[in-house]
Structure formats: structure tokens, C-alpha cells
Structure 1
């Protein structure tokens, strides 16, 4: 059963690790699909943070769009997939790194992770996606 708009937006707003998919520019290969942290508030844009010169960063810049899929298997099998155009790419701020890290890590781990990532991960960008196409379902208990 498809989710309502409110249900799918609320589910996407939860801190799932997403599968990011983006066309990688090669006819002989499937799209690049990798796990990624993301941020989303219902009714807004989705944003991710990645290295400007990472494989996914370059592929997104070339394609101009990407998709994310999040799922869970308990208490029911549920997923939401969203795809759309990139609406902005900007240099990441330390505050954004704190925000997204706080979404996924225990509070006592955030500062150490942010210090490490800010120093070691190289130039990071925040890429914003405008949700354009949605797929969602709750398959019930299996």
C-alpha cells in the first residue's frame, strides 16, 4: 500500500541511512549506488554532504540529479524513494557537519567525529535535491 504524502515525508525525515543512486556516465555500468547520510524536513529539500571531488560528488555534478531510497524491515516493511534535480551545491560548513553527524551518531561521539571529518575528509559540499518523484510503500508484516 502506498504511503500518504504526510507518511512518506515523515518517514524520510527519520534518520535512516539512504542508498544514493546517480547515473555514473557509463553505458556499460549500472548507476552508482552507495550508502549516505542525509537531512530532510517535511516539505523541504533533501541535502547530503560529500566530497566535492568524490566519485559521487562528480557523478551528481555531471548528472544534475540523483535519487535516495530509505527502508526498514520492522515493525513492517516500508520504503520511500525520492528523486529529483540538484538545486544547489555549496561549500559545507562545520555547522552542517555537526547537524548531520548529530542525526546519526550518539551525542558523546559527535564532537570527536566532527573534528576528525572536518580535518581529514577534504573539501566537502552540501548538495540539495528538490523532491520531484516519489515511490513509497508499506508492505505490512511479512
Structure 2
């Protein structure tokens, strides 16, 4: 049987390098938006995501003010953390240091800085999300 992560296991898992799926309600007659996204997380902290300011997901996040972020491990043993959270800040344009930090998390220092530099001048928004509710499952005991 799967078990929930402890708080420290959850924080360690989220601090790892995973692609998240961000979901946000839609009120435009389409289903909710669910998109893969890079994120930044520090234990006991907030979650930050960066995206184009004019993208549909950015508009929907602003309108809804709440999101769900699913972070999963797709290899055995399966594990996931779902975060339901409130958007507490939206900074446009995204500060360069935030774009660099998020890109570096996934691409490493050199490529992350180069990726963030390519985004200079692009309209972007940095959303800060306060976690309100956690759901987690760890299937490692099923092995």
C-alpha cells in the first residue's frame, strides 16, 4: 500500500529536479489548463513559476488566483506530491535573478544563465504560490 510522505520527505522530494504539471481553472468554455512547467521550491517556502505574461496559463492564473501543481516521479517506485496553493504575488516582468535561478535548477549554471539571457526583453511573469494543501503518495513500500 502506498503511504503519504512525511513533511521532510515531501520537502526533499519537491526540492529535487522534477518537471511539474500546473493546473488552473478556466472560465472561457475550455477545460482547465494543465501544462508542464519548471518550478522553484525551497523547503518551508513558496513555489515560484515563470511564464510568458501573455500566455493563456498566465491569464488564467491571474483570474483564478489558485492553482494545483503536481510533481511526480515517473520511474519506479512511483511517487508524487500535489500542492494546492494560492497565488500571493505576480511580478511582471520576471526578475532576471528569478529566471536564472529556475533555469539553472534544470539546465545547470552555464546553460541556465544562457537560457534566461535569451528571455531578456520578453514579457514574462513570475508567480509566487503559497502552498495551502499537500497530497502525497509514496509507492516505494510496494516494491
Q: Does 1:134 align with 2:134?
A: yes
Give the whole-Å Cα distance in 1 for the aligned partners of 2:44 and 2:75.
25
**What is residue 85 of structure 2 aligned with on the other side?**
84
Structure 2: gaps (5+ residues)? none
**What is residue 18 of structure 2 aligned with on the other side?**
16
- RMSD over aligned Cα atoms: 1.5
**What is residue 99 of structure 2 aligned with on the other side?**
97
2:104/2:113 contact within 8 Å kept: no
Q: Does 1:112 align with 2:111?
A: no
Deviation at 1:45, TM superposition (A): 0.5
Give the whole-Å Cα distance in 1 for the aligned partners of 2:31 and 2:134.
21
Deviation at 1:53, TM superposition (A): 1.6
Give the whole-Å Cα distance in 2 for the aligned partners of 1:73 and 1:95.
30
Give the whole-Å Cα distance in 1 for the aligned partners of 2:112 and 2:22.
23
Structure 1: gaps (5+ residues)? none
Tell me the TM-score normalised to structure 2 length. Answer: 0.89
**What is residue 123 of structure 2 aligned with on the other side?**
123
Give the whole-Å Cα distance in 1 for the aligned partners of 2:74 and 2:51.
27
Q: Deviations over 1:71-95 (max 9, x none)?
A: 1133411000101111111121111
Counterparts of 1:29-44 in structure 2 under 5 Å?
29-44=30-45
